[in-house]
Structure 1
Amino acid sequence: MIEPQSNRATEKIYIDADITNRIIGCAIEVHKILGPGLLESVYESCLAFEVTKSGFLVERQKPLPVCYKGLIFNEGFRLDLFVEEKVIVELKCVEKILPIHEAQIYTYLKLTGIKTGLLINFNTKLLKDGIIRIAC
Structure 2
Amino acid sequence: MSADVSLLSREDLEIRCLELIERCTALEEALGLTGDAQPRNWRVPLTPALGRMLAVLLNARPGRPVSRQLLSEVSARDPLDPPLSNAVEVQIRNLRKLLRDAGLPHDAIHTVVGEGYCIHPDHLTAMRNAFLCDDGRLFG
TM-score, normalising length: structure 2: 0.32
- Structure (1 or 2) with the greater strand fraction: 1
**Higher relative contact order (Cα pairs below 8 Å, separated by 6+ residues):** 2
Q: Which has the higher helix share?
A: 2
Compare CA radii of gyration and give the structure with the larger one: 1
> Normalising by the residue count of structure 1, what TM-score does the alignment of the two structures yield?
0.33
